[in-house]
Amino acid sequence: MRAVPATGHGGGRASLEPDIAVLDQDPPAGGTDVLRINDLRVEFRFPRYSVEVLAGIDLSVGSGEIVGIVGESGSGKSVTALSIVGLLQRPGFVTGGRIDFAGTDLLEVGADEMRAIRGNRISMIFQNPRASLNPVFSVGKVLREVLRVHSGLRGGAATARAVELLADVGLFDPNAVLRRYPHQLSGGMAQRVMIALALASSPQLLLADEPTTALDVTIQYQIIQLLSRLRQERNLAQIVITHNLGVIAELCDRVAVMYAGTILEEAPVERIFDAPRHPYTQGLLAARARTELTGRLESIPGQVPDMRNRPPGCPFSPRCPHAGDVCRTANPAMEAVEPRHRVACHRWTELA
């Protein structure tokens, strides 16, 4: 499908892409890939038509690495995460690709095996933490249940571990929090509880879907610090999905920019901010409000495309100020700008 397949930074990619492999000398902290997604395709099937929601995603996450997926609504970031943990629901269907996790293709495993992996070795947290918690169970009940299922802990041992986990995510007075119900938690506390639940089984990979979007800025910053500390202390690999480039700048090592079901650009976080190559990435960076800035913002004209009428060629071409004829007809392949920096744009060399 692609001219250049996934360019991970860890082992096992040499046969795929020699020139990049040779140049790839500085993998981020960690080294080996925890997760590798190859050409992931997802379709939403409706009675009269179907929509390709992911049109071939390549992405990898190294151990201890935080990879950000940034994109606007409808770009497919959440569908990517749900596909990884096998929670994609109808009308969504994975139609192709591989998701390698520790030697297993997650798309091939059965429901039971997936259930064992999910929540055990891969955990996920969501945007609205209070909605993710069952309102009729106390924090302690849920946490002890998770510990029983995933670690076989019961009684006093489970309670002790639960207190430890709550303290670890920075909650004051964990014993009191154990007795609380979701409606008695603030948004920030609820998100910390969700993170504690996610950590209960010592996962290798945490998926965070807009983890701070519903929170106030001071609380958002506390959660950013917490996720950052989990990387340092537990070497926990993370995929952080957000539309907020500030969160990306604070937290991530590497960024994938998604648009209309494809990754348009992927690079280490500083490269994305210093030398974005895709016109969409450039537009996003120019369009965000910044405290250092006054005056008009450079907005991207038009709207995010309707997936039912995906434009031919490059999905960004209808809004792109640099689009030429080729952009409107042929889908651009992922090309390496430099090691670990890939872009899917026909004209990136001309525009650089």
Partner 1 sequence: MSEPLLDVIGLEKRYAVRSGVFRHRDLVAADDVSLTLSAGETLALVGESGSGKSTVGRCILRLEAPSGGCVRLDGTDITELEESDVRRLRPEMQMVYQEPLESLNPRHRVGKLVAEPLVLHGIVGKTEVRNRVVELFQLVGLGEEHVDRYAHALSGGQQQRVGIARALATNPKLLILDEPTSALDVSVEAQILNLLRDLQRRLRLAYLFISHDLAVVSMLADRVAVMYLGQIVETGPTRDVLSNSFHPYTRALVSATPVDHPRQKKLRIALTGEPASPIDPPAHCRLVPRCPYAEPVCSAVAAELLPIDSCRSTRCVRFQQEHCDGIWDPGGDVPIQDTVIRSTESEVNELKLND
336 part of the interface to partner 1, by CB under 8 A: no
Are 246 and 289 spatial neighbours (Cβ–Cβ below 8 Å)? no
CA distance 76 to 102: 24
128 part of the interface to partner 1, by CB under 8 A: no
Are 237 and 61 spatial neighbours (Cβ–Cβ below 8 Å)? yes
Long-range contacts of 116-120 (CB under 8 A, 24+ apart): 118/85, 118/86, 118/87, 119/146, 119/149, 119/150, 119/201, 119/203, 120/150, 120/201, 120/203
**Smallest distance from partner 1 to CB 301, Å:** 8
284 part of the interface to partner 1, by CB under 8 A: yes
Question: 137, 181, 273, 348: which one contacts partner 1 (CB under 8 A)?
Answer: 273
**Smallest distance from partner 1 to CB 279, Å:** 12
298 part of the interface to partner 1, by CB under 8 A: yes
Residues numbered 242 to 271 that lie near partner 1 (CB under 8 A) are 243-247, 249-251, 269-270
26 part of the interface to partner 1, by CB under 8 A: no
Nearer to partner 1, 188 or 211 (CB): 188
304 part of the interface to partner 1, by CB under 8 A: yes
Residues numbered 195 to 224 that lie near partner 1 (CB under 8 A) are 216-222, 224
Nearer to partner 1, 29 or 326 (CB): 29
Nearer to partner 1, 69 or 158 (CB): 69
67 part of the interface to partner 1, by CB under 8 A: no
189 part of the interface to partner 1, by CB under 8 A: yes
Q: Which of 184, 178, 148 is nearest to 166 (CA)?
A: 178
87 part of the interface to partner 1, by CB under 8 A: no
Residues forming contacts to partner 1 in the complex (CB under 8 A) are 72-73, 170, 172, 186-189, 216-222, 224-225, 228-229, 243-247, 249-251, 269-270, 273, 283-284, 287-301, 303-304
